Amino acid sequence: MDELHSLLLDRALNTIRAGQLVAIPTETVYGLGADASNRDAVQKIYQLKGRPANHPLIIHVQAPLAGSKDTEKDWLTVLDPWTRHISETALTLITHFWPGPLTLVFEKSKLVLDCVTGGQSTVAIRSPAHPLTQELLRRFGGGIAAPSANRYGRISPTSAADVETEFPNNPNLLILDGGPCEHGIESTILDVSGEGLPKLLRPGSISPSMIKASTGIDVVSSSGIANQPRVSGTHLAHYAPHTALYLYSESDIASQLSGFMNQEPKLRLAVIVWEHEHSHHQEELKAYLQNITFIAIAMDPGLLAKQLYRLLRDLDQGQYQGIFIPSPPKTEAWDAVRDRLQRASFGSGPSSNNHVSS
Ligand code: AMP
Ligand code: MG
């Protein structure tokens, strides 16, 4: 760790201890963190985000030090203050995937504040893999409660600059700059609070088949967009740009866009296309090339996850009247990206009040 980062970490530590907020880098997206045991500090997260009080946060915890002799025991010690019971299945998931982009939902202990869980009897916990945040957690010794560091319903930040853009009226918000996020979308969330198989609450870069392959554990998943966190404030709208976002199917994009352009010839549209379809679409829509900006992307779920929020944020600044993006294939590998796109599209547009209902 260089001196600059060490000084920054000292500042972040003092800020957390003083009950103030710190934006923390993780491998998924940037989080807006507060001391999970300090009610006033946690309330500041809700105020700054404009997030409904019944929408719970994730508690971030430290990982055992490298070279630990009994990692399982270390994890149990770290989790003990927050949880009532940890099943064998949960412990297996932890030893395979933590620190990493997997959040687990447990029965909560009495110590966990209601404001962290939105009043529920369960608590969501994760150990993030980013070295700066791990070091902060180690120095702090407690849990840091954090949701993504964006205003409620909007696109999650994947860089320190994105966090700044989200909260322009809070120039004093301390942001621990850990560079661009490695995964780019929020963690996978599994409910391991009951006796049965883990339930998928939110798809992420760790998929059920990856879990099955490395642990033999089956994950129960409901299909499509029904995979929502068990909270009343979530609804379908989330991660949304101000510009209207449309998901299109390859077969009817040309006629859909010609329809738009014939009605309103002055529209400026951004059309994201799969790399291998790029020249095909340009040919089909050549009459409108003046108004349409094409952006070619690789058909790779990991890569798109990593770039997605950056792309949406940049296009949102581009004065377009609409952004078009192809519907990803309906396969498990694309579940996380498809989920984010559907929610982003549902909540998008200048007012969004037809979508964000909480
Ligand atoms: P964010 O990372 O901004 O999406 O915020 C934390 C996420 O964790 C939210 O989507 C919550 O719904 C989810 N979460 C937190 N606690 C729980 C819980 N007890 N049960 C289900 N989901 C939870
Ligand atoms: Mg969020």
CATH number at residue 145: 3.90.870.10
pLDDT at site 234? 45
Tokens 């992307």, located at residue: 297
Please tell me the residue having the least CA distance from ligand 1 atom 10: 229
- Residue to mutate, 29, 46, 103, 238, ligand 1, most ligand atoms under 8 Å from C-beta: 103
283 lies in which domain range? 245-347
Q: Where are the alpha helices (DSSP H) in the chain?
A: 3-17, 39-49, 71-79, 88-97, 114-117, 131-140, 160-166, 208-215, 253-263, 278-284, 301-316, 335-346
Give the chain's residues under pLDDT 70.
222-237, 351-358
Give the distance from CA 68 to its chain's centroid.
30
Q: What is the pLDDT of residues 138-151, one digit of tens each?
A: 999 999 999 999 99
| Domains identified in the chain, total number | 2
Q: What is the Å distance from ligand 1's center to 55 Cα?
A: 7
**174 and 321 co-located in one domain:** no
Specify if 354 maps to a domain. Answer: no
pLDDT single digits (tens) 190-204: 999 988 999 999 999
Q: Domain check: are 147 and 265 in the same one?
A: no
**Residues found in the chain:** 358
Distant-in-sequence, close-in-space partners of 319: CB < 8 Å, separation ≥ 6: 268
Does the residue 227 lie in any domain? no
226 in any annotated domain = no
Q: Which residue has the tokens 């982003």?
A: 344
Instruction: Please answer whether residues 183 and 163 qualify as being in contact, where contact means their C-beta atoms are separated by less than 8 angstroms.
Output: no
Angstrom distance (rounded) from CA 99 to CA 203: 17
| Pair 312, 245: CB distance under 8 Å | yes
3-state secondary structure of 148: strand
Task: State whether 268 and 186 are in the same domain.
Answer: no
Pairing of strands 102-107, 188-191: parallel
Q: How far is the CA of 262 from the centre of ligand 1 (A)?
A: 43
Which residues crowd ion ligand 2, with CB under 5 Å? 147-148
Average pLDDT, the chain: 91
Phi/psi of residue 304, each to 5°?
Answer: -65, -40
Q: Check: CB of residue 64 under 8 Å from CB of residue 72.
A: no
Q: Does residue 357 form part of some domain? A: no
Binding pocket residue ranges, ligand 1, CB within 6 Å: 55-58, 105, 117, 120, 122-124, 147-148, 186, 189, 201, 229-231, 234
Domain C-terminal end among 206, 221, 236: 221
- Give me the pLDDT at residue 230, please: 45
Q: Are residues 68 and 113 in the same domain?
A: yes
- pLDDT (0 to 100) of residue 187: 97
Pick the closest to residue 221 from 191, 194, 200, 192 (CA basis). Answer: 200
> Residue 63: inside a domain, yes or no?
yes
Q: What are phi and psi of 204, to 5 degrees?
A: -150, -160
Cβ atoms 78, 143 nearer than 8 A:
no
Q: How far is CA 123 from CA 20, 243, 295, in A?
A: 22, 34, 40
pLDDT digits (tens, 9 = 90+) for 200-234: 999 999 999 999 999 999 999 864 433 444 443 34
Whether 180 and 272 map to the same domain: the answer is no
How many Å apart are CA 327 and CA 305, to the nearest integer?
14
Strand 245-248 and strand 174-175: the pairing is unpaired
For 245, the enclosing helix (H) or strand (E) is: strand 245-248
Ligand 1 centroid from CA 227, angstroms: 12
Residue to mutate, 27, 105, 154, ligand 1, most ligand atoms under 8 Å from C-beta: 105
Question: Measuring CA to CA, which residue among 178, 174, 177 is closest to residue 17?
Answer: 174
Is residue 355 one of the residues assigned to a domain? no
